Chains A and B, each alone.
Chain A
């Protein structure tokens, strides 16, 4: 189950170094437009909402809800194919963006759309960590 998911090392491109460095410290950063204020996802030093090049990092709450998910029963992805079944999801962060990720620390058949979740970091051992999400018992409601 989910605890056995692999931790592939992210490729770091120019403009995303700080994002991945922060994950190793347990922080989820988002880029925000300094002109229109819109949080940006995926991280890039450009605002697709208004076209501004003025952007900066801020730390996200790490909380959100499941927007949608799928339980993967057949996979050709190295590492993952040995961890079936696993859950791929979009989590809607409290800041707005819907972020692709895995839901972990939860039986796949317990995952529901609207379920509150919070970020957990799983270290790659290479100066970065994967941001995955687990059920958030401290959040009320959901559904």
Chain B
């Protein structure tokens, strides 16, 4: 069974705030849910399926209770920041299988205002890998991504200047987004002059830390037809876990090598058909490895690929992250998968900022990465099209 054309993204909402000290996570979940449902022209009573990550409460129970949802289908797959791309794929599968009609996916978190629980979500025993990886001063996600960047530079000659180009492209987009956390355009020199955090990654190679959230509503073709709002058609989806391979890990590639081809195959499209990409951008190296793994360039050439404005909308060869991405706009709850889907839908609706709207955008790809490319990760690729794609 394929999900191609069996489900549509009818509603999206990105929380406009980047610092939210005075509201609970559940309240933010409810606010973004309301926003996405209003965008679709639907209400909470229409929702029969709910998707969230493992940090949202007691699985999906807490938020279903908080929002008063009456559900026949639930899923709280947790793959870190890629979870929400996974959720859209799973929602499309459930709709295609007749399990539900209106699926709500939400994300919320407040890492800027409230201390995070170390990423383990308070689930009791530390994970078995953490017993051997939690001893060496790994300081947040950046240390693991720096380990990957060092190896990529060693094997392929990738440079800090090339990685900085990714930040520059994101910032050129963020200057048009009034809600972006960082709105000033960056130069390569600025990125290289920013403080070194974990070599070779500078502060400005890193995404922003923001409170907030987002939501999407995925519906059946029958529901989509009855709505006034333009939907994005789900065309294909792939997901994968790339782990530490019994200690034989190779940090020069990501799980996108598995999730990407599966999404392309299901969607029945080629790379040349892709008008816009949302690429997970926790760090600049994340984008370079992912572009290679998705097949937009040969392995090892990602650094050169991003030069000369390749990623800059609207006229670059492969416009990316036109909201400013996690690098400049928003990385709510330290998880960027939700905003990747949202901006792709904006592009397909023709509702991105006019300065960065890709002309005649009919096919878009959103890719999420969760966990760490320095150890183990969840990867998910989603390909969407306009309603008539």
Which residues from chain A sit less than 8 Å from chain B, CB to CB? 5, 8, 10-13, 16, 38-44, 48-49, 67-77, 79-81, 83, 86, 88-90, 96-102, 113-114, 130
Given A13-B125, A100-B133, A101-B136, 6 further pairs, Cβ under 8 A: A5-B137, A42-B247, A73-B196, A74-B195, A96-B247, A97-B248
| A46 to B139 alpha-carbon distance, docked (Å) | 29
Residue B1 interfacial (CB < 8 Å): no
A137 to chain B, nearest CB (A): 22
A1 to chain B, nearest CB (A): 13
The A contact surface, by secondary structure, is loop
Are A130 and B135 in contact (CB-based, < 8 A)?
yes
B-side interface residues, number (CB < 8 Å): 36
List 14 interface pairs A-B (beta carbons < 8 Å), by A numbering: A5-B137, A10-B131, A13-B131, A40-B247, A41-B244, A42-B131, A68-B147, A68-B151, A69-B147, A72-B143, A74-B195, A76-B139, A100-B136, A101-B136
| A98 to B249 alpha-carbon distance, docked (Å) | 7
Are B138 and A67 in contact (CB-based, < 8 A)?
no
| A71 to B148 alpha-carbon distance, docked (Å) | 13
| A68 to B149 alpha-carbon distance, docked (Å) | 9
Residue of A nearest to B155 (CB): A113
> Given A40-B246, A70-B146, do A13 and B128 touch, yes or no (CB 8 Å)?
yes
Are A70 and B128 in contact (CB-based, < 8 A)?
no
Contacts of A13 in B (CB 8 A): 125, 128, 131
Residue of B nearest to A42 (CB): B132
Leading 9 A-B pairs by shortest Cβ distance: A97-B247, A41-B247, A80-B137, A70-B146, A75-B139, A68-B151, A71-B199, A42-B132, A70-B198
Contacts of B201 in A (CB 8 A): 70
Contacts of A43 in B (CB 8 A): 132
> Given A67-B151, A88-B143, A88-B147, do A73 and B198 touch, yes or no (CB 8 Å)?
yes
Q: Specify which of B131, B248, B375 is in contact with A96 (CB 8 Å cutoff).
A: B248
Are B131 and A88 in contact (CB-based, < 8 A)?
no
Residue of A nearest to B125 (CB): A13
Residue of A nearest to B203 (CB): A74
B143 to chain A, nearest CB (A): 6
Are B137 and A16 in contact (CB-based, < 8 A)?
no
Residue B129 interfacial (CB < 8 Å): yes
A91 to chain B, nearest CB (A): 11
Are B150 and A113 in contact (CB-based, < 8 A)?
yes
Are B246 and A100 in contact (CB-based, < 8 A)?
no
Contacts of A44 in B (CB 8 A): 128
Are B154 and A68 in contact (CB-based, < 8 A)?
yes
B142 to chain A, nearest CB (A): 8
Contacts of B199 in A (CB 8 A): 70-71, 73
Are B246 and A70 in contact (CB-based, < 8 A)?
no
Contacts of B247 in A (CB 8 A): 39-42, 96-99
Are B139 and A74 in contact (CB-based, < 8 A)?
yes
B299 to chain A, nearest CB (A): 17
B323 to chain A, nearest CB (A): 27
Are A77 and B138 in contact (CB-based, < 8 A)?
yes
Residue B126 interfacial (CB < 8 Å): yes
Q: Specify which of B129, B135, B137, B249 is in contact with A75 (CB 8 Å cutoff).
A: B137
Contacts of B125 in A (CB 8 A): 13
Are B138 and A8 in contact (CB-based, < 8 A)?
no
